[in-house]
Structure 1
Amino acid sequence: MSAVEYRIEGPCAVLVMQNPPVNGLAQAVRTGVMEALDRALADAEIKAVVITGSGGHFSGGADIREFNTPKMEAAPSLHDLIAAIERSAKPVVAAIEGTAMGGGLELALACHYRVATGKSVIALPEVKLGLLPGGGGTQRLPRVVGLELALNMIVSGTPVPAAKLAQTELFDAVVESGAVAAASQLIADRLAAGEVPVLVRDRKLVHADAEAFLDIARLNVRAMAGAYPAPMACLECVAASTSKPFDEGLRFECEQFTLLMNGEESKALRHAFFSERAASKIPDVPSDTPLRRIDKLGVIGAGTMGGGISMNFLNAGIPVTLVEQKQDALDRGVATMRGNYERSLKKGKLSQDKLDTRMALLTPSLSMEALADCDLIIEAVFEEIGVKQQVFEVLDAIAKPGAILASNTSTLDVDRIAGFTRRPADVLGMHFFSPANVMKLLEVVRGKATAKDALATVMALGKKIGKTAVVSGVCDGFIGNRMLEPYVREALFLVEEGASPQQVDKAMERFGMAMGPFRVGDLAGNDIGWSIRKRRYVERPEMFYPKLADRLCELGRFGQKVGKGWYRYEPGRRDAIPDAEVTALIDSHRRELGITPRALSDEEIVSRCVLALVNEGARLLEEGIAARASDLDVVYLSGYGFPALRGGPMHYADSLGLYNVARSMRGYAASAHGDRAFWTPAPLIEKLAADGGTFN
């Protein structure tokens, strides 16, 4: 298939971009449009050109498949194409259906006229990749939609329906359907009237007091952007459209784009973007693997996790049978789900019709037999292997052939759970993160016997319910919690040595973590970690754990749910207040160990905590638990509050240089306190460092 279809309709040449799924502006498309434009200009019978896209889309912008390849910058560039369209002696009309985003919208802005269907989606979303529109978007969009709307669209990257822009000068016509036909009619009418089109670049930007507006906007955007440079760069480029001649504004936009493109923040955000897409690809599972039908779902357990899991599928229009042992627990779970929906209703995020529709898809039951016709059954019961065994033995007996049986376990052995059935190929883990109806991450745990079609089905289903699904092999804690354990241990060692919990938390939060490790412990429940450590003491007695966290739990300080943990909490509030009782506990613990506290820098705190994640991540890669380093980054970006502008722990290690990472680890291994054995760099790190390589 040609990248651009050329056809003649009356006096118009219609150029149809063809690059599924959203007609990204790949080199072949850019070349095809340029050649087709030249062909139309050379044909005396052609009076105008209409550019549109196939498959219900205009263009989604740059083709991500060409990112970081020579083709992305190869001639003709987007700038070349835009210049050619603007110079065209025959009028060019953009006929927009579906999406016109990024470079796609910038291409349309270069055209002499624009026609769109009302449901088309318009956006300049580059800021979400740490960039700004680099094809003149910051200079042209303000000239047709106004300074304030353009700034909001560019700084936020938020898509806007074309219907909402119908009254602006962006569009010459907004129609219900048939954008190409409408574009052909529009150009025929304008030619008949002898109209001379005015290019967007030649239009004047009018605003009552641009400087005053921009001064206020700078304050707001700076506060919103935090450590991210792209939003402020977007603002300054838009500001240039008000104060500089058009070509000077373009040059300034180009300079700022180049700075951002070469910056660490954009590299990290682009890494995250590609990593999330790569996570859906399983090396030994073909993309065309037939999927099992999932028409009905079963969930066992109506507690916080079971209810949240159920809501994901109800939201996607999938019927759910929810099973509990006791009526009061079932009623409480259903009431909590309804309450969650009603809160969304009050906030205007959900209509009453949708609330009613979703609740109508829910079938509460006290009988496991009610799950017999379900295509996928997820258990969300107590995290204890004996309880899991009882559940899966029953499911093995009642579930229909081909049904997928999933455990929501966060640490237990999925292979052992599969062994409780006579159908291990149908068993896998689906580890949702709490609250399950909100958190994006879904760890899909592949057992040694899990069938490829079962795995592919659950990965596709994860996408359908809006999750970022990542495959993990079987190990204690899978990817996320396995890496979290040494991170938390290192935070405890730091406190033993002289830091306070609040210093560690603040250092990690300044680094960009959503919450520091001690605040996370209080939120999740310190008793959960205590339970895991007790199991570790039996199963892995060689592991070295700081006992401080155990001492805290022995005082009943389990976190926010009891009003005290590493911090103190006032009733009804979540403010973490330092507590003298914890300070006294830490001082006493240090004296018992004979430790004289020392001052620790925030730099050391961040380095030791993050590199603990990295070293354990490298071991996961060596063991084959994760398919690629970027999967580890996706887990931490989606489920553990790792800062997006750092790209994930493994990408962050790459940015430091693995030689430097290994050197730091060896330094920590030589220190007088902590787990020296842990800090021996994983062999993969040593190998990559020696070869000058990277994880990603």
Structure 2
Amino acid sequence: MISKVANHFRMEEDNGVVTVWIDVAGSSMNVFNSSVIERLEDVVTELESSTADAVIFRSAKPSGFFAGADVKQIAQLSGREEVSAVVARGQKLFARIERLPMPTIAAIHGPCLGGGLEFALACSQRIALDSSATRLGLPEVQLGLIPGWGGSQRLPKRIGLIAALPMILQGKKLTAAQALKAGLIHAVAKEADWEATLSRRSTFSKPANGLRRRLEDSYLGRWFILRTAEKKIARDSKNYPALAAALTAVRAGFDRRCDGFAVERDEFTKLIETPTCRNLLTLFLWREEARNLNFRSSTSLRREDSTADSRPRFERQMAESHDWQNMAEVSGGGADGHDEPAADGRTSRLGEVDQQKLRTIGIIGAGAMGAGIGQLAALKGYDVVFKELNRELADAGMARVTRLLDDMVAKRRLSKSEYDAALARVQATNNFEDMADCDLVIEAVVEKMDVKRAVFASLAAVLKPHAVIVSNTSALSIGEMAAATSRPDRVAGLHFFNPVHRMDLVEVVRAKDTSDDTVMMLLKLVKTLGKTPIVTSDSPGFLVNRVLFPYIGEAVRMVMEGHSPRELDREIKKFGMPMGPIELVDHVGLDVAWHVAGTLEHVLPESGDVIRFLGNMVARGWMGKKSGRGFYDYIEGKRGDAADLSALLSSAHVPTENKPGGVRPFEDSDVQRPNIGAFLDDRLSDIQRRLVYPMINEVGFCMQDEVVAKSWMADLAMILGTGFAPFRGGPMTLAESIGPQTLRNNLNVLAARHGERFKPSAWLVAAGRPSRETNSQQRQEGVNGTV
């Protein structure tokens, strides 16, 4: 055997077969960056003159094959010439791989995404490991981009347009079994047969070209498929230009008069300059930052203060001790492995986090939320103990978890062996004593403080001293629950969103006495579960519900004034939300909305009328979709016409359109008095403005109350937790695009017309607000990500 080592790659030759081991230095995942591209060019140069019988590209990392290109480096690109040159370099390199004189095999395990799949597509054959971790996809559209290294050209020709377009236009990922069925890969092997399968490379068959593919290969077939796709994306393309750009590139790949790769390169180059792409890239980097928060930044809830330093925020933060290369991992310890002081001056016992491993998680309540959390924990290797009130409910909880796992197997997202292993880690009980060995217990019972306090007290009596107790409450006080225990330092909130398997956000709620160790433990857990954490203070509604309710409440108020629910929902969908506010409250449940609103009444002005109206609907049994009636009527779960609310409205106090007191004096000298009472142009409709501005303003109040440490956390949380239009970048990013003068003017006009609840928060009124970290800061701070 002959072996040669180069940076990022290791080449071994044995009996005429060259294995190229991929092991990108300094990264837990293989990613493409400029250094990797340069070294791979050297590898390909050597292979072009090789007499080897075959080449196998394999990852030396257990994490997977290739996660894609480094998003940080993509975000750093500036100017069309630079972008075009980077794209052209990758296209040329993969074209050279495609032309190598010997068979080339991509041995895929784990993620094979974005540039990683484009690399694999350039190989003549692809083999995949049969594992739930194996995923093949082109997620570039989720960043407002298209595949740029040949993915839009090779994939449709490998698997056909019908299979390729969902991967290109939706970012759909395929399991190994799905990829085999689609013809994307040539063979699938179980782990025990992996090496033997690689050695039988000559027996791989070409994916079948069935009747459907033959129809697709005709001119009329391709025209019909592309035309149908064009109609489907027409509405979304206005906000997400990558959709139309991707179709343009795909169509060019089948046009003999065009250079499809040149069209792909040109479309990619144009997209990277769009506001949508900039916002989605920044969102991706924020998500990576949230998942990799260091100890100081994750536990400090210090308010941003633009008046303390006149420099742009990214310059101020770069001047602070924010070294991403020496960042402490959430598993504990500073850069040198020693304890480091917390931001508030306390000393963290980070060593204890390492010493006390989190192995067993208890869950009180095996309903929809509890079962979802438990299933996820079991899949990630934790032992899970469910506690219910009686044996019958405990058995029902186990059945619920089993159904969730069955569904994953049915969708081929989980193998039978992985299913068996996960289920073996789960047990259910109706005795608190059976929770004694749990390292962490998550309470997910009814949203009643007296019930939760009783649960916390019972847990504190049986758990070992190191164990942590958290609540999945969406709004209730963590500190009040902690008072029922003798361990307030080991009590916190861990607010998952429903459905657990789909919602990425988790609010980590830090109460007054919650220790640094507890926060660190929970951050590590959330990251291990594959979710994105946002640390919030223990205040009513935490972050997401507090910012969301002014929006929902204003929509309810507008219905009370006579607006059509359909009109409100239609306008907000045009704004970019996945569903309107009235649809949302029906979907969540009016009883849930009423309860959350009640906990927020003392922090949200003028909310009493709305809360009483929701309470009257709940008293009549109108809970929304689950009861068959809310603001809409539902027939077998399907939304019908708007419900007749006339009886409720006639007995309710309907808020008047205008509140007394007139317009408050403008505090900003740059806003001219002739504009008082008139809206400045913000590119929003009257309905959109009235519903969206309350969210922007409430983020300002959250910043004043130090609910979160940084305003970008609010943007990220609202997108991940509520579906706030991603292409707009979140409430604060939207506020920046509107501009501070226009924003403050319009809030004051809304306050004059509709009530003091629209009065701009002091945080928004402060000089230079709103302002967020710019894309350039994200690029300079070095948050890593891949596509």
Aligning the two structures, in what range does the TM-score lie when normalised by the shorter sequence? 0.7 to 0.9
Query: Corresponding residue for 1:608?
Result: 690
Query: Corresponding residue for 2:276?
Result: 265
1:33 to 29, 40, 51: 40
Distance 2:640 2:722 in 1: 19
Contact 2:477 2:540 (C-alpha < 8 Å) held by counterparts: yes
Note if 1:674 corresponds to 2:755.
yes
State the structure with bigger RCO (CA 8 A, min sep 6), 1 or 2: 2
Give the residue type in structure 2 aligned to 1:525: G
Note if 1:284 corresponds to 2:295.
yes
Distance 1:174 1:525 in 2: 44
Note if 1:322 corresponds to 2:410.
no
Contact 1:406 1:428 (C-alpha < 8 Å) held by counterparts: yes
Once the two structures are TM-superposed, the CA of residue 334 in structure 1 deviates from its matched residue by 4.7
SS at structure 2 position matched to 1:661: helix
Contact 2:53 2:102 (C-alpha < 8 Å) held by counterparts: no
Note if 1:553 corresponds to 2:615.
yes
Instruction: Label 1:451 to 1:371 Cα distance change in 2 as closer, same or farther (>3 A).
Output: same
Give the residue type in structure 2 aligned to 1:59: F
TM-score normalized by the length of structure 1: 0.81
How is 1:340-351 mapped onto 2 (pairs within 5 angstroms)?
none
Note if 1:499 corresponds to 2:563.
yes
Note if 1:55 corresponds to 2:137.
no
Contact 1:17 1:29 (C-alpha < 8 Å) held by counterparts: no
How is 1:472-621 mapped onto 2 (pairs within 5 angstroms)?
472-495=536-559, 497-534=561-598, 543-545=605-607, 547-554=609-616, 556-557=619-620, 558-560=622-624, 561-570=626-635, 572-580=636-644, 582-583=645-646, 585-586=648-649, 593=656, 603-621=685-703
Note if 1:300 corresponds to 2:400.
no
Query: Corresponding residue for 1:21?
Result: 28
Once the two structures are TM-superposed, the CA of residue 94 in structure 1 deviates from its matched residue by 4.7
Note if 1:132 corresponds to 2:146.
yes
How is 1:244-263 mapped onto 2 (pairs within 5 angstroms)?
244-245=256-257, 248-263=259-274
Distance 2:549 2:141 in 1: 34
Distance 1:549 1:166 in 2: 53
Once the two structures are TM-superposed, the CA of residue 63 in structure 1 deviates from its matched residue by 1.2
How is 1:363-382 mapped onto 2 (pairs within 5 angstroms)?
363-382=427-446
Once the two structures are TM-superposed, the CA of residue 302 in structure 1 deviates from its matched residue by 3.9
Contact 1:52 1:94 (C-alpha < 8 Å) held by counterparts: no
Instruction: Label 1:584 to 1:127 Cα distance change in 2 as closer, same or farther (>3 A).
Output: same
CA-to-aligned-CA distance 1:64-110 (integer Å, 9 cap, x gap): 23231149958973522543675699747655233543223434555
Contact 2:594 2:614 (C-alpha < 8 Å) held by counterparts: no
Distance 1:64 1:236 in 2: 23
SS at structure 2 position matched to 1:275: helix
Once the two structures are TM-superposed, the CA of residue 240 in structure 1 deviates from its matched residue by 1.2
CA-to-aligned-CA distance 1:205-237 (integer Å, 9 cap, x gap): 996413333323431453267414433432332
Distance 1:340 1:103 in 2: 32
Instruction: Label 1:245 to 1:2 Cα distance change in 2 as closer, same or farther (>3 A).
Output: same
Instruction: Label 1:284 to 1:459 Cα distance change in 2 as closer, same or farther (>3 A).
Output: closer
SS at structure 2 position matched to 1:104: helix
Distance 2:128 2:372 in 1: 37
Once the two structures are TM-superposed, the CA of residue 673 in structure 1 deviates from its matched residue by 2.1
Give the residue type in structure 2 aligned to 1:612: P
Query: Corresponding residue for 1:638?
Result: 720
Distance 1:91 1:519 in 2: 58
Distance 2:525 2:187 in 1: 39
Distance 1:430 1:123 in 2: 31
Instruction: Label 1:323 to 1:592 Cα distance change in 2 as closer, same or farther (>3 A).
Output: closer
Give the residue type in structure 1 aligned to 2:763: P
Note if 1:213 corresponds to 2:294.
no
Distance 2:194 2:424 in 1: 34
CA-to-aligned-CA distance 1:378-424 (integer Å, 9 cap, x gap): 12233233333322222222111211111122212223322332222
Distance 2:223 2:689 in 1: 39
Note if 1:416 corresponds to 2:480.
yes
Instruction: Label 1:657 to 1:53 Cα distance change in 2 as closer, same or farther (>3 A).
Output: farther
Instruction: Label 1:321 to 1:260 Cα distance change in 2 as closer, same or farther (>3 A).
Output: same
Instruction: Label 1:639 to 1:647 Cα distance change in 2 as closer, same or farther (>3 A).
Output: same
Distance 2:179 2:593 in 1: 52
Once the two structures are TM-superposed, the CA of residue 17 in structure 1 deviates from its matched residue by 4.5
Contact 1:522 1:559 (C-alpha < 8 Å) held by counterparts: yes
Query: Corresponding residue for 1:223?
Result: 232
2:706 to 618, 624, 638: 624
Note if 1:64 corresponds to 2:146.
no
SS at structure 1 position matched to 2:507: strand
Query: Corresponding residue for 1:96?
Result: 106
Distance 2:185 2:583 in 1: 50
Structure 1 alignment gaps of length 5 or more = 187-204
Give the residue type in structure 2 aligned to 1:673: H
Instruction: Label 1:78 to 1:106 Cα distance change in 2 as closer, same or farther (>3 A).
Output: farther
Contact 1:132 1:257 (C-alpha < 8 Å) held by counterparts: yes
SS at structure 1 position matched to 2:92: helix
Query: Corresponding residue for 1:197?
Result: none
CA-to-aligned-CA distance 1:291-345 (integer Å, 9 cap, x gap): 4423222222344443443333344453333223345554554555556666777
Once the two structures are TM-superposed, the CA of residue 50 in structure 1 deviates from its matched residue by 7.4
TM-score normalized by the length of structure 2: 0.72
Give the residue type in structure 2 aligned to 1:672: R
Instruction: Label 1:414 to 1:165 Cα distance change in 2 as closer, same or farther (>3 A).
Output: closer
Once the two structures are TM-superposed, the CA of residue 278 in structure 1 deviates from its matched residue by 1.8
Contact 2:152 2:264 (C-alpha < 8 Å) held by counterparts: yes
Note if 1:683 corresponds to 2:756.
no
**Higher deviation after alignment, 606-615 or 237-246:** 237-246
Contact 1:115 1:171 (C-alpha < 8 Å) held by counterparts: yes
Give the residue type in structure 1 aligned to 2:613: R
**Higher deviation after alignment, 289-298 or 167-176:** 167-176
Instruction: Label 1:299 to 1:225 Cα distance change in 2 as closer, same or farther (>3 A).
Output: farther
Query: Corresponding residue for 1:79?
Result: 88
Contact 1:30 1:76 (C-alpha < 8 Å) held by counterparts: no
Contact 1:155 1:231 (C-alpha < 8 Å) held by counterparts: yes
Note if 1:383 corresponds to 2:447.
yes
SS at structure 1 position matched to 2:386: strand
Query: Corresponding residue for 1:237?
Result: 249
Once the two structures are TM-superposed, the CA of residue 479 in structure 1 deviates from its matched residue by 0.9
Contact 2:280 2:726 (C-alpha < 8 Å) held by counterparts: yes
CA-to-aligned-CA distance 1:627-661 (integer Å, 9 cap, x gap): 33332233222322323333333333334344433
1:311 to 367, 375, 394: 375
Give the residue type in structure 2 aligned to 1:136: G
Contact 2:658 2:754 (C-alpha < 8 Å) held by counterparts: no
CA-to-aligned-CA distance 1:221-269 (integer Å, 9 cap, x gap): 53267414433432332221111346x2222222222333233333333
Instruction: Label 1:207 to 1:170 Cα distance change in 2 as closer, same or farther (>3 A).
Output: same
Query: Corresponding residue for 1:189?
Result: none
Query: Corresponding residue for 2:516?
Result: 452
Give the residue type in structure 2 aligned to 1:34: E
Contact 2:658 2:753 (C-alpha < 8 Å) held by counterparts: no
Note if 1:651 corresponds to 2:733.
yes
Instruction: Label 1:225 to 1:470 Cα distance change in 2 as closer, same or farther (>3 A).
Output: farther
Give the residue type in structure 2 aligned to 1:310: G
Structure 2 alignment gaps of length 5 or more = 203-213, 297-327, 333-352, 660-678, 779-787
Query: Corresponding residue for 2:300?
Result: none
